[in-house]
Structure 1
Amino acid sequence: MVHSEECIIFRVKGILEFACQLDNPNGAQSDNTISKSFQNLRSKVSSKNIVFTVSNSPILIWPNMGFQSSMESLTEASACGDILQYIESDDGGNKKSSKKKDKKRSGPTVVNMKLLFEVTDPAGNEAPSLMRMSSQHHSVKMPLPLDCVYSVSADESLPTVFTGLVEALNKQIADMEEVVLRYRKGSSFLVPQPFHFQLPKPAGLTTVIYPAGVPDSQLQAIREDLHRKFELSIDKPYLRRANAFHFPDEAYKDGYLRNPHMHLNPPNIEDAKLYLVQGVYSYHHYMQDRVDDDGWGCAYRSLQTICSWFQQQGYVETAVPTHMQIQQALVDVGDKEARFVGSRQWIGSIEVQAVLNQLLGVTSKIMFVSQGSELATKGRELANHFQTEGTPVMIGGGVLAHTILGVAWSENTGEIRFLILDPHYTGGEDLQIITDKGWCGWKGPDFWDQNAYYNLCLPQRTKTI
């Protein structure tokens, strides 16, 4: 697997119609009939009629005809990266030239394609024949939502890429067959759905098929098998639906920014190592969700960012709590009186710890710092947290709260920078403003009030698959 910034992900999507007729849905032969229909679909994908169209471009490719392309300049000898110059990006430029300046690139380039088939064959001499049969059977029709990925370096040859994609499509159809057979009840079928996961090397970007409508809680045995197959640790949920790989060219539907820190360059500290949040979180800040919490809601927003991390890593399926739900949780655990719900009272690290435990079942460690100047000496503890737990850290001092997403720390000199996500931001979801103006940015030890005391809430991962 190549490094994400040097690679291209070729992604092909399309719908294949699965259809079969079962004389007796519960009979011994029905599995064979279903398998035969899936075999027909694999034959279709391997036929000369298959065509890939490259989105936002004039390119058509026939992968099973000795590699033929609608562009004369794209031949068997071409590198797959040559495709990029023909693809128009959303802003009208081409993918090759539309890199943002100054900001660090986030993730690989994605080439989106559609799966089509030629419907007309060359004219032959065969005359059609009709046959009438009278019998009862169950007719099953179901759309199969194919979604295949192939991740390669930009200098890989085009024939290699498209041969690999055809193989991936065949494998996906076979995996879908397995899921359909496992979960069908008579003539009742569950639609098999593909999900992509970015796994640790050497597995890399991997596709798993899950049955639609079956919750993650009922798929634990399958995930356990997959963890063994890919040699994954059994204490992290790598393969829940919430962990599915998010393609860099797709927007999130809820409107929140994800991982703005990925667009920052690291601080220039000699001999320092980076210790960063692991995984995906949403940036929660003042004035979102039609809630005017300017001046009192910073710890609530930091808590929401932490909750989003646990949700998007698949540890919990509960939604990110609202201010009212956070307040109610504190009343429920006896920390606050009933009149606290609906108030504009701020909370601190201890309350954040209590809410995480009450709503998510997540335990947290608390680090006490008697004055801000001491934070400069906490590099080892924070580095260890981000290395082992990898969760966002909430820090509260006085009436201010921030989220720490990582540290750059030199073990030799003790020099440190803190990666801060600031919940006090009141603007829109503008990544450029947020990174340029330092609402997400690297801060030195002088960022903290040197004389104020601080409490840090360090959430701990739960052990689960």
Structure 2
Amino acid sequence: MVHGDPQSSGPETIVRIRGPLEFKCLLDSRDALQMQKEISRTFEKLHSQVKSESCIFTVCNSPVIIWPNRDVCATPEEITPNTSCEELQQWIPTNEQESVGKRAVKRKSKKSPATSVLNLSLMMEVTRPGPLPAPVLSRNVHKSHFLSTTLPIDCVIRTTCNNTIKATFKLLLEALTHQLHEMEKVMLQHMKGANLLLPEPLHFLLPDSKGLVTVVYPAGVPDSQLEMQRKELHQQYELPNEWPYFKRANAYHFPNEPYKDGYLRNPHLVLTQPSLDNGKVYLVQGIYSYYHYMQDHMDDNGWGCAYRSLQTICSWFQQQGYVERAVPTHKEIQQALVDIGDKPAAFVGSRQWIGSIEIQAVLNQLLQVTSKIMFVSQGSDLASKGRELANHFLTEGTPIMIGGGVLAHTILGVAWSETTGEIRYLILDPHYTGGEDLQVITDKGWCGWKRPDFWDQTAYYNLCLPQRPKVI
């Protein structure tokens, strides 16, 4: 589990250190017990390295170098053991400084965000001060298996901006030691002869203030073969066995790292929630990608809104670890409907609309996900569905596709007052045709809270409510 300092106060800082540790050992593949002992001895050497004066932490994109095992000795000299994490971050040059080519200097303090990330690199000094003894060579001939690889160290602790680097790095060294122990366990448990699996550290943000937890998995072993390990983790952290918290797809995405596929995630998080008398807000649980018209070099303007809503829903199931398949394309969606006999073969490649009933069928065919359908005879009746919608987001937490007439939208949540019946809908609009500009999308209402008059009061609507599988 990730370490933290509960005694400190102030804005939170996530301190993350990454770097390769060289793992080299000679293995006698004829003796399994001897191989295990040799692997353990190699890890003991790595423990010694981390605790030695040769261990170095560098602050990424800055001139700061710190020797944590030399009484937190650092360069530049202005940095002392009592320097706070916030002060340390001020040595990282801003984008403005980099753009004009300024030398990295301590920048003035700005208002800190609620959570910041301090990225460090783990290194080892290879030089030694003073004269070195002459090397001694010896030759020993025997058959053995030489193993050389790098361990991908990736440690995280949560602390506060005003905590000192001395206290922070003490926690970080403890986390490094713990991660090496976990890596050793994984390598020994998954030994097959002289072949070892590389350990893979991943971080997971758990609900109910359980915090950020680091788990070491064997790289290359699929999630389907790690169910027992996930069950043990669920028991350890007292989590229900109906949500895949520890599947790789649920690994924590650090706020300072952009997504590589170009899609916006959870644009609704920047919106101000509506305030209703005695009202509560019920939102989609987890992460989804925003799919809309004209993405992926696909001109579906005017006919593809339901396809895009379905893609958003599929992205939710993918990013919560329920499915491993990629988000389906328009043609794959159409082919699925042909395969189940819902559409003729000529439907593939066409520009025909689909509705919530087809969405239900495709989710079942491609993702093995069942859905409930809610029929609303006229848009004015949607205002009375607050309890059903609130219960859906509370229990299932999936995005909802709603279709009426020729339009489809995605409902991401509701604000609803049980006493007054007043309701607002959080809508993600797939009809947007612009670029992935979060400010434009939220300022122009493509993702926003809508009043009941948003719906055509006389049109009928069908809502597809995907059900979350109960898996671990």
* Short-chain TM bin: over 0.9
In 2, the alpha carbon distance for the partners of 1:126 and 1:271 equals: 78
Match of 1:214 in 2: 221
Does 2:301 match 1:294? yes
| 1:409 equivalenced with 2:416 (yes/no) | yes
Aligned residues: CA RMSD: 2.1
User: In the alignment, which residue of structure 2 is the partner of 1:382?
Assistant: 389
Q: Aligned equivalents of 1:150 and 1:121: distance in 2?
A: 30
Give the drift of 1:428. 0.9
How much has 1:400 moved relative to structure 2?
A: 0.3
| 3-state SS, counterpart of residue 145 of structure 1 | strand
TM-score, L = length of structure 2:
0.93
Does structure 1 residue 271 correspond to structure 2 residue 278? yes
Q: Distance in 1 between matches of 2:200 and 2:57?
A: 21
CA distance in 2, matches of 1:431, 1:75: 40
Find the residue that maps to 2:90 and give its secondary structure: helix
Matches within 5 A, 1:24-423: 24-90=29-95, 92=97, 97=110, 108-124=115-131, 126-423=133-430
Q: Assess, with a 3 A threshold, how the Cα gap between structure 1 residues 24 and 325 changes in structure 2: closer, same or farther.
A: closer
Q: Which of 447, 463, 467 is equivalent to 1:456? A: 463
Query: 1:390 & 1:146 partners in 2: Cα distance?
Result: 34
1:445 aligns with 2:449: no
Shift of 1:69: 2.3
How much has 1:71 moved relative to structure 2? Answer: 3.5
Paired residue secondary structure (1:409): strand
How much has 1:82 moved relative to structure 2?
A: 2.0
For the Cα contact (< 8 Å) 2:277–2:420, is it kept in 1? Answer: no
Aligned length: 459
The CA distance in 1 between the partners of 2:462 and 2:93, in whole Å, is 50
Any conservation in 2 of the 1:237–1:314 contact (CA below 8 Å)?
yes
Provide, for residues 289-333 of structure 1, a one-character-per-residue CA deviation record: whole Å limited to 9, x for no partner. Answer: 111100000000000000000000000001101111111111112
The question of whether the paired residues in 2 share the 8 Å contact of 1:366 and 1:455 is answered with: yes
Q: CA deviation at 1:460?
A: 0.6
Amino acid in structure 1 at the alignment position of 2:448: G
Bigger CA drift: 321-330 or 56-65?
A: 56-65
CA–CA separation in structure 1 for the residues paired with 2:380 and 2:451: 11
| Matched residue SS, 1:28 | helix
Shift in CA distance, 268/44, structure 1 to aligned 2, threshold 3 Å: same
CA contact (8 A) 1:89 1:98 kept: no
2:340 maps to amino acid: V
Shift of 1:158: 1.6
Letter in 2 for 1:7: E
2-structure distance, mates of 1:274, 1:382: 11
Task: Indicate how the Cα distance of structure 1 residues 415 and 252 shifts in structure 2: closer, same or farther if over 3 A, else same.
Answer: same
Q: Distance in 1 between matches of 2:357 and 2:11?
A: 43
User: Which residue in the other structure is 2:102 paired with?
Assistant: none
Provide the secondary structure at the position in 1 that maps to 2:288.
Answer: coil
- Normalised by the length of structure 1, the TM-score is 0.94
> Contact 1:373 / 1:448 at 8 angstroms: preserved in 2?
yes
Q: 1:96 to 1:374 in 2, by over 3 A?
A: farther
Which range is displaced more, 440-449 or 19-28?
A: 19-28
Equivalent residue letter for 1:66: D
> In the alignment, residue 189 of structure 2 is paired with which amino acid?
R
- Deviations 1:103-160 (Å, cap 9, x if unpaired)? xx7x731111111112222215644322222222111111111111111122222212
Pick which of 378-387 and 86-95 moved more.
Answer: 86-95
Does the 8 A contact of 1:363 with 1:460 survive in 2?
yes
Identity %: 61
Partners of 1:21 and 1:140 within 8 A in 2: yes
Paired position in structure 2 for 1:10? 15
SS state of the match for residue 381, structure 1? Answer: helix
Q: Alignment partner of 1:35: what SS?
A: helix
Does the Cα contact within 8 Å between 1:10 and 1:151 map onto a contact in 2? Answer: yes
Distance 2:164 2:33 in 1: 46
- 1:84 touches 1:95 (CA, 8 Å); kept in 2? no
Q: Distance in 1 between matches of 2:30 and 2:218?
A: 19
Give the stretch that moved more between structures: 122-131 or 404-413.
122-131
SS at the partner of 2:203?
strand
Q: Gaps (5+ residues) in structure 2? A: 99-106
CA contact (8 A) 1:89 1:95 kept: no
Deviation at 1:91, TM superposition (A): 5.2
Distance in 2 (CA, whole Å) between partners of 1:178 and 1:336 is: 53
In structure 2, relative to structure 1, the CA distance for the partners of 1:258 and 1:400 (3 Å cut) is same
Whether the 8 Å contact between 1:257 and 1:283 is mirrored in structure 2 is yes
- Which deviates more from structure 2 when the two are superposed, residues 259-268 or residues 419-428? 259-268
Q: In the TM superposition, what whole-angstrom CA distance separates every residue of 1:360-400 from its partner, at most 9, and x where no partner exists?
A: 01111111111111112221111111111110010111000
> Cα offset for 1:202?
4.8
Deviation, 1:90, is 4.0
Question: Structure 1 residue 238: deviation in Å?
Answer: 0.6
Is contact 1:13–1:115 with CA below 8 Å preserved after alignment?
Answer: yes
Partner Cα separation in structure 2 for residue 368 and residue 89 of structure 1: 53
Question: Match for 1:173: what amino acid?
Answer: L
1:189-248, Cα deviation, whole Å (9 max, x unpaired): 111111111112453111111112111111111111211122211111011111111111
- The separation in 2 between residues aligned to 1:97 and 1:438, in whole angstroms, is 31
